[in-house]
Chains A and B, each alone.
Chain A
Amino acid sequence: AQSVAQPEDQVNVAEGNPLTVKCTYSVSGNPYLFWYVQYPNRGLQFLLKYITGDNLVKGSYGFEAEFNKSQTSFHLKKPSALVSDSALYFCAVRDMSGGYQKVTFGTGTKLQVIP
């Protein structure tokens, strides 16, 4: 069975500082990993994905994520936070081995960027 954990319910960061939102996963085979963002009263929006290849993945709005196979992590990062980055962030994983596997979402991390 696959799973994903977001250990922090909320992350607070000052505007202009770097931000990190943590995600760890568990799969039996190779993972596909995704980050989504959700703004109030909106659906989830895709930010970036890791499929294979370069461990540093760049996505929308200046976000990037680092895939670490040994630590089974896929942390979301941004060099300089904006107030408009304040939102709910979801990590998701799909195990690509052994037939169909649904996408499993984490419980979400609320990012608060303080002016």
Chain B
Amino acid sequence: NAGVTQTPKFQVLKTGQSMTLQCAQDMNHNSMYWYRQDPGMGLRLIYYSASEGTTDKGEVPNGYNVSRLNKREFSLRLESAAPSQTSVYFCASSLRQDSNQPQHFGDGTRLSIL
């Protein structure tokens, strides 16, 4: 059972380049999330998708876009990468956004912007 799968695991970009981070879940969850993790700041929500066909901004959406391609897949795009976007990015999913069920996380994408 794969759970939440993120690709790639590592990436180095130059400032101004674009990139899409991929995420897929096989748990038939309705809600999916993108977070970034920075030292001393915990996890900050970038965007979320409560259900297929909907997306909403989180705490730190600037510089990012998302696409909920179908129920399984939720991608995060950096249109013009900046050094401030160097971070570890985590995708997560949950049964529903308003449920008491926990979120399930992928193993992250470690992104460096030079």
Contacts and interface: CB of A to CB of B under 8 A. Distances in A.
A43 B106 contact: yes
B40 A107 contact: yes
Q: How large is the interface on B (under 10, 10 to 19, 20 to 34, 35 or more residues)?
A: 20 to 34
Closest 10 CB pairs of A and B: A43-B105, A46-B102, A107-B42, A105-B43, A44-B105, A105-B42, A43-B107, A51-B100, A32-B100, A43-B106
28 contacts: A36-B105, A41-B107, A42-B107, A43-B4, A43-B90, A43-B92, A43-B105, A43-B106, A43-B108, A44-B90, A44-B92, A44-B103, A44-B105, A46-B104, A49-B100, A51-B100, A90-B42, A94-B100, A96-B100, A100-B50, A100-B97, A102-B45, A102-B58, A103-B45, A105-B42, A105-B43, A106-B42, A107-B41
Interface of A: 9, 32, 34, 36, 41-46, 49, 51, 90, 94, 96, 100, 102-103, 105-108
A53 to B, nearest CB: 12
Contact of A34 (B97, B102, B107): B102
A105 B33 CA distance: 13
Nearest to B91: A43
Nearest to A101: B98
A9 to B, nearest CB: 8
Contacts of B104: 46
A49 B102 contact: yes
Nearest to B110: A41
A100 B98 contact: yes
Contacts of A41: 107-108
Contacts of B107: 41-43
